[in-house]
Structure 1
């Protein structure tokens, strides 16, 4: 990997404090706070229109906060300093690729990112089965999306922002995307992925953010979610466990319809029992429909580590 003259890594990859932002007269964020305290893969979830894409653009410096503080890698993104732009890559949901081949794109644009890894780019293109010498104009939407993903991964920026990266990909390509995200070359980065395709990220995420009504209402590691919640499927409604936090039928209601469920995990009852995997799609629905009970079960991870809880940051000076 080529050497690059870049500032040392910031203590926190991302810090957003008391953020206010509105589109015209329509408020979007009214005091949003969230932090990525260490590198990893962060999933950003929430309903349509809650502001996920806007947050990525604010972190990339494409938008400016109206009040509050946004910092990424120790920089103020809206200042758009060259040192910052060399360390961040935003893959938007909708994008335009010039009428070049993937190899020509590398030669013309790869130099903007000092850590761009040509060998990794070629490996990602091969894994995703993207033809190296075919112009983008002759590719399908899915092929273009895979080429854009390969370029984003090869840029090797400390901060990678991805907006709905698996939209337009078929089942095989989504599995290939998960495999690429799990490669050791990506382990040192901070990756924030906004998506509705919850199932695509279950094996990839380290941390989960859930956005609702202009705030991050859930900020928890996947390990904590697995420790605090237990999820499963009952053969019928009559077989559901007691005190469910969320339940839903998996099909048309009938005596034989299976039901998915979420309950509070009680580790004291079975301290040696392994934590069950988190089913993100079920968790997403539960947070959308019955958030309070679920959030109470998960608890405040920040409070246990001495961090200020979401929505209660100490007052700091806003950006000029």
Structure 2
């Protein structure tokens, strides 16, 4: 579905964000892309969408070179950036002027999602709050039924009930033919939504694993429930001390993505090696 090969990119050759980065993503998955501020998450997504161009290497989506921006590529990809600049039209008018670029657009699904998000189809988009604008564009993007959906910080501006609704709607939009990528710095917003975790750090992908694989190899629990000698990483949640240790009992449990992200970005090489 998506294949990034030896990607080298920087906004100047003297300051590279990525060097020889490789990544493969398959259809039928919701990927969560995590990284510290400045790690290059948004830039990686822009490379996948063909909005910026590699210095070296390639980004291919369904066999198309993203940077070529061919019509056949564009009609199978929808990108929702972190910042929105919407025209002076209603959601209904936006649909009528834009939906024809996407052959598989589902008008009924669009209006249904607007209703679930409690967004008016007949209010001017520019007059909506930022959160309402985000929900309108998420509804439109999912209604395109493109093979690839890329969302950069989609939950920014959403209140707690809207975040819950977002997770439900996005999960229901996944099909075996669709690849969904969600980038966020709010790890808990991806809870119970993604099935594969990607971590970007130090110009490279240091983790690209399914949550099932992670839970098979690592155990996430409180410090009181595990032998201290087995602990690989310890983090204070404010409500107690949580740990990551090697899963020795063969039972899969819930992955604490925030704890795992903190462990990886702190440079815990033992955990990175276990998940390779």
Q: TM-score range by the shorter chain?
A: over 0.9
**Equivalent in the alignment of 1:128:** 117
Query: Among residues 170, 178, 196, which one is paired with 1:189 in the alignment?
Result: 178
**Equivalent in the alignment of 1:263:** 245
Query: Among residues 18, 23, 26, which one is paired with 2:11 in the alignment?
Result: 23
**Equivalent in the alignment of 1:103:** 92
**Equivalent in the alignment of 1:88:** 77
| Secondary structure in 2 matching 1:62 | coil
Counterpart check, 1:296 vs 2:273? yes
Counterpart check, 1:201 vs 2:183? no
Query: Among residues 164, 168, 174, which one is paired with 1:179 in the alignment?
Result: 168
| Secondary structure in 2 matching 1:100 | coil
**Equivalent in the alignment of 1:245:** 232
Q: Is the 8 A contact 1:41 1:192 kept in 2?
A: yes
TM-score by length of 2: 0.94
- For structure 2, which runs of at least 5 residues remain unmatched after alignment? none
In the alignment, the residues of structure 2 paired with residue 180 and residue 136 of structure 1 have an alpha-carbon distance, to the nearest angstrom, of 21
TM-score by length of 1: 0.82
Q: Report the CA distance between 1:40 and its aligned residue.
A: 1.1
Q: Report the CA distance between 1:32 and its aligned residue.
A: 0.4
**Equivalent in the alignment of 1:157:** 146
Larger Rg: 1
In the alignment, the residues of structure 2 paired with residue 221 and residue 185 of structure 1 have an alpha-carbon distance, to the nearest angstrom, of 16
In the alignment, the residues of structure 2 paired with residue 30 and residue 156 of structure 1 have an alpha-carbon distance, to the nearest angstrom, of 33
In the alignment, the residues of structure 2 paired with residue 186 and residue 171 of structure 1 have an alpha-carbon distance, to the nearest angstrom, of 26
In the alignment, the residues of structure 2 paired with residue 15 and residue 293 of structure 1 have an alpha-carbon distance, to the nearest angstrom, of 27
In the alignment, the residues of structure 2 paired with residue 39 and residue 14 of structure 1 have an alpha-carbon distance, to the nearest angstrom, of 12
- Relative distance call for 1:131 and 1:37 in structure 2 (3 A) is closer
| Secondary structure in 2 matching 1:245 | strand
Q: Report the CA distance between 1:184 and its aligned residue.
A: 5.1
Q: Is the 8 A contact 2:28 2:174 kept in 1?
A: no
- For structure 1, which runs of at least 5 residues remain unmatched after alignment? 1-12, 252-256, 301-320
**Equivalent in the alignment of 1:284:** 261
In the alignment, the residues of structure 1 paired with residue 33 and residue 40 of structure 2 have an alpha-carbon distance, to the nearest angstrom, of 10
Q: Is the 8 A contact 2:28 2:175 kept in 1?
A: no
Q: Is the 8 A contact 1:240 1:261 kept in 2?
A: no
Q: Is the 8 A contact 1:58 1:70 kept in 2?
A: yes
Q: Is the 8 A contact 2:174 2:180 kept in 1?
A: no
Deviation string 1:225-260 (CA, Å, 9 cap, x unpaired) is 11111112346xx97643211112233xxxxx6201
Q: Is the 8 A contact 1:199 1:279 kept in 2?
A: no
In the alignment, the residues of structure 1 paired with residue 173 and residue 38 of structure 2 have an alpha-carbon distance, to the nearest angstrom, of 34
In the alignment, the residues of structure 2 paired with residue 184 and residue 92 of structure 1 have an alpha-carbon distance, to the nearest angstrom, of 19
Point out the more displaced range, 71-80 or 178-187: 178-187
In the alignment, the residues of structure 1 paired with residue 222 and residue 174 of structure 2 have an alpha-carbon distance, to the nearest angstrom, of 36
